[in-house]
Structures are given as C-alpha cells and as structure tokens.
Amino acid sequence: MSSDAHSSTEYIKHHLQNLTYGKLPSGYLRTDGELLSQDTWTLAHSAQEAKDMGFWAINVDTMGVSFLVGALFLFFFHRAAKTAVTGVPSGLQNFVEWIVEFIDTSVRGSFSGRNAMVAPLALTIFIWIFLMNLMDLVPIDWLPGVAGALGLPFLKVVPTTDPNATFGMSLSVFFLVLYYSVKMKGVGGFVGELTLQPFGKFGLPANLFLEGVNLLAKPVSLALRLFGNMYAGEMIFILIALLFAQGAVLALTGGVLQWVWAVFHILVITLQAFIFMTLTIVYLDMAHQEHH
C-alpha cells in the first residue's frame, strides 16, 4: 500500500470513529503502549479500544452534539413562545409558526385518532433530527481539528451517522407504539391482532410470524433508513475532502463538488427528518386503530 493510500485510509477511519468513553480492564495494553495496572475509565484512542470497552461504553460526541442541538431547539422555540405577539410577528415567531402549522397539517393528514401527544412528538422529532443532520454541512475538518487541538483523539459531529443514536430514537418510538397498541386495544386485542390476522385462527403460526416481522421491522426500518442515508452523505463529504490534498486541479474540483453536494444534501437532511417524523405518525396511527 502506498503512503498516500495509507494516509487516505487513516483519514477516512479517523473521521468515521466516534469519541468513545468506557472502561478498559486491568492488564490491557493500549494502542500507545501503556499497560493498565487496574480497571480504567478513559477515552478510547483507537477503534479497537472502543470495541474492547464493550456494551457500557458511550459515544461522547454523539451524546454531546445531540444534547447541544436539542437545547438550541428548546431555547429558540421557548423564546418564540415567550415573546409571541398578536400584531406584527418577528422573524423567529414567523418561522416557528410556519413550522408548527406544517407539523399540524402533517399530523392531521396522517393521524386519525385523538392524542394530544402526537403533534408535539412529531415537532420534536422533525426539528431535532433536522438539526442533527444539519451538522453534516459543517466543513468536515473544522470541529475535529478543534478537538485535536484540545487533545481529543476523535470527534464525529453528526449524531445520525451513529447507529446507536438512530436505533435509540427508533426504539423510543417502538415502545410508544407498543404502549398505545395495548392501551387502545387491550392486551387481548393486541395479542389477537398478532395471532389472528390475516388468516384467522387456523393460520396462527403464519399470522404470528408475519405480524411479528411486520412489528419488529418498524424500529429497524426507522433506524437503518436514517443512519444509512446520513452515513453515506458523510462518507461522500470525506471522499471529496481528500481531493484537496491532491494538487490544485483536484482541489478546485473538490471545491465545486463539495458545494454541489452540500446544496443537494440540504434536501437529503430535510427529507430524512420528514420521513422519520411521518413514519412515526403513521405507526402511532396504526397503534390507535382497532381491528375487528
């Protein structure tokens, strides 16, 4: 492998690695040659160390950026609500009212039941995922460069390129679907829905298999669709960034490609947030429907 190919590979791996915090066991030989004399909670210095930390490790960058953009969402929407006027609205109030009206229209079009929680949930999902996706438009080396200057080995700034984040959100929606399915239909109605449809009581094994797969596919499809699209988008930005180190002509080409992909990616990040929100509304609507 040539040195250029090696450096390119390392560059890609570095930008796709999360900043992970977890416990390494006593006697562990770290990447930098340090031998731990006792169990140690620390930041991983390599992908292998992050893997060896096991289930209880946490991706600090995913959690940090998620909470940061979530706090910004709450701050600006709370500010718009506190400063709302009946006369000529401010630009922030106009924007928030437009978003709320858009979400309300989406919920009314997809949700046939009565549940005051669905619209606020849809609003939160759409804005929060959009803001996490929006981090993909920050130049690829800016924040990791700052992190490196602060002594942090990695920093992955797009939470939705981490399957832990997308599965966490999808499982939250899944538990809500289960809760409302049981609440609206009762335990017997929910079990009957899984075992008696679509072939009736004589097709119970086939019914349970088909309905079980259909039920479990909901969180998997939500998580993987969002993760896959955002991960692919981030990878393209990384590959374009590699062109800037390959001479003036390729650097110019990279600049044009980066601008074109960023403009197109605005549509991608918005669409992915909208799809996650819409599917959540649809799944909750199905949970509220009673089958006879």
Looking at the annotation, which residues are catalytic? 221, 225, 229
Any residues with CB less than 8 A from the CB of 12 and at least 6 apart, and which?
Answer: 235, 238, 239, 242
Name the residue type at position 38: Q
Question: What is residue 45's three-state secondary structure?
Answer: coil
Name the residue type at position 216: L
β-partners of residue 42 are 22
Q: Are 118 and 287 in contact (CB under 8 A)?
A: no
Instruction: Evaluate the CA torsion angle 51, 52, 54, 56 in order and state its sign.
Output: negative
Any residues with CB less than 8 A from the CB of 270 and at least 6 apart, and which?
Answer: 130, 133
Give CA separation, 61 vs 155, 162, 204, in Å: 6, 10, 46
Q: Are 211 and 181 in contact (CB under 8 A)?
A: no
Distance CA 131, CA 22 (A): 27
Residue 203 tokens, joined: 């097709």
Q: Residue 100: what are its φ and ψ, rounded to 5°?
A: -60, -40
Distance CA 198, CA 210 (A): 9
